[in-house]
């Protein structure tokens, strides 16, 4: 299979040092990935800096048309992109197809709304004309995670291009191929060579070089809180603005009057989607003690009937992204403490599944709220329950971690829903539904150690631009 090479200034760039891209379903080697380093990052930033001024001067209408064409090309290559995404990540093929649909939606959405993204006129007095301009930063650097590589690359590329920036994107070590495909499609769509550059490689090499590069004027990062802190420090050294979308330990608060079947359905999907490898996965079930046993039983039943298998066979649940991630999940489950493992709790041992990085859907009831498995991001198909007796305790448990990315409230009492939504510390609150990150239109980002800044929606365009105020005397 072809080596995943850097795509810089509209062409593949040979790199002599590579590493293996591993299929998480069975541990086999899919192909080689180039280990981009400082030289490749330098070249990519130079290409972006050369392309950006002309791209920024392109009429907004024409930039919008190019993004629409790129969306059409993503749709055209839907099956190949989905297959590649499934192979790289292990996710079921149907979920990978959904990711392709969302990727195309990013380019269409920002291709539409950018034409309505203006500065403002500020009325000061008859002798002054004051207005603001929204201007691009120039070269944007983006480092994205391995759990939704196509979606994450698309939302960064779409918003940065819409606002007139050029981008250098570093995909995750394990999942570089769909980002490279997007970069090639951008040129086919008529976007200038150099406006989109992708440098695959290791985080400690290509990622570190990109975040520290003096030619990068804005940084975006999606990944762990620990690495996000390092990116923020690198940005602070150069006083560069940063958007960080980091970890989560999202709570689903289920009150006694909730529709338990609906809560069980959404609760199951919220933790098993992408094998639980989602920053906004609903990994904590904060449930009223009067319905706890019933709800735990309903979710356990759904977990037991989940079909596991290779992502390209389109099961309910594919493997984790790597054996390393499987070991991480195992460590959390084996050290869960006093909680009762209701279902799962181990890797499958039968047949071909034993060769891959699989983990059984796991439900652990009644964990200690202060335990690691209740406080830290497991990033696997592991759901823990925390019982509560009243509303105040429910809010305290929901807010009782360092994270604040997303939360859900299940109740028929809308007054309670509004009241609790105002108290829960999270960037998105869902009531009687749940969306892992929500739709393309919904601003997405965290409170506390889940990061800062917002992606998605029109609000993301503000993050990719800087405001200039112009004051003209008419006297």
Query: Active-site positions?
Result: 245
Calpha distance 456→405 (Å, rounded): 14
Distances (CA, A) of 278 to 21, 330, 350: 21, 17, 26
Q: Is 113 left (phi over 0), alpha (psi -120 to 50) or beta?
A: alpha
- Cα Rg, the chain, nearest whole Å: 23
Phi, psi of 473 (to 5 degrees): -80, 130
Phi, psi of 265 (to 5 degrees): -60, -50
Residue 372: its H or E element: helix 372-375
Please state whether beta strands 251-254 and 284-288 pair in parallel, antiparallel, or not at all (unpaired).
Answer: parallel
Place of tokens 């940065």: 160
CA 280 to chain centre: 8
Calpha distance 418→399 (Å, rounded): 16
Calpha distance 326→90 (Å, rounded): 12
Calpha distance 361→273 (Å, rounded): 11
First to last CA, the chain: 69
Q: Are 448 and 469 in contact (CB under 8 A)?
A: no
Q: Are 105 and 440 in contact (CB under 8 A)?
A: yes
């Amino acid at each position: 299979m072809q080596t995943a090479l850097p795509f810089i200034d509209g062409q593949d760039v040979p790199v002599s040092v590579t590493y293996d891209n591993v299929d998480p379903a069975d541990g086999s080697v899919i192909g080689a990935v180039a280990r981009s380093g400082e030289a490749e990052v330098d070249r990519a930033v130079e290409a972006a800096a050369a392309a950006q001024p002309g791209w920024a001067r392109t009429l907004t209408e024409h930039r919008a048309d190019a993004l629409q064409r790129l969306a059409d090309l993503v749709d055209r290559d839907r099956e190949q992109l989905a297959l590649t995404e499934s192979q790289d990540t292990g996710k079921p093929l149907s979920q990978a197809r959904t990711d392709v649909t969302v990727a195309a939606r990013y380019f269409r959405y920002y291709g539409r709304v950018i034409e309505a993204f203006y500065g403002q006129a500020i009325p000061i007095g008859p002798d002054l004309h004051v207005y603001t301009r929204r201007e691009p930063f120039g070269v944007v650097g983006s480092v994205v995670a391995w759990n939704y590589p196509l979606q994450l690359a698309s939302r960064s590329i779409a918003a940065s291009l819409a606002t007139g920036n050029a981008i250098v994107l570093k995909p995750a070590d394990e999942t570089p191929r769909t980002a490279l495909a997007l970069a090639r499609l951008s040129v086919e769509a008529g976007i200038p060579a150099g406006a989109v550059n992708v440098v695959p490689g290791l985080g400690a090499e290509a990622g570190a070089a990109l975040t520290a590069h003096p030619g990068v004027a804005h940084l975006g990062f999606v990944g762990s809180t620990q690495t996000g802190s390092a990116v923020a420090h690198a940005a602070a050294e150069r006083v560069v603005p940063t958007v960080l979308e980091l970890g989560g330990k999202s709570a689903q608060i289920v009150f006694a009057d909730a529709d338990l079947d609906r809560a069980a359905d959404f609760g199951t999907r919220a933790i098993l989607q992408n094998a639980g490898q989602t920053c906004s996965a609903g990994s904590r079930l904060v449930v009223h003690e009067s319905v706890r046993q019933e709800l735990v039983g309903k979710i356990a039943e759904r977990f037991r009937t989940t079909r596991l298998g290779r992502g390209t066979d389109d099961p309910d649940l594919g493997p984790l992204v790597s054996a390393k991630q499987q070991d991480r999940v195992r460590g959390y489950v084996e050290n869960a403490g006093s909680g009762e493992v209701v279902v799962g709790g181990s890797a499958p041992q039968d047949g071909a599944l034993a060769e891959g990085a699989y983990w059984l859907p796991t439900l652990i009831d009644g964990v200690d709220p202060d335990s690691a498995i209740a406080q830290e991001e497991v990033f696997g198909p592991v759901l823990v329950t925390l019982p509560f007796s009243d509303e105040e305790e429910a809010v305290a448990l929901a807010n009782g971690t360092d994270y604040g990315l997303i939360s859900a409230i299940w109740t028929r009492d809308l007054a309670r829903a509004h009241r609790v939504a105002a108290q829960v510390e999270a960037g998105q609150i869902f009531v009687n539904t749940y969306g892992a990150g929500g739709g393309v239109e919904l601003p997405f980002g965290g409170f506390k150690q889940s990061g800062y800044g917002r992606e998605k929606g029109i609000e993301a365009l503000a993050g990719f631009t800087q405001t200039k105020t112009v004051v003209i005397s008419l006297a």
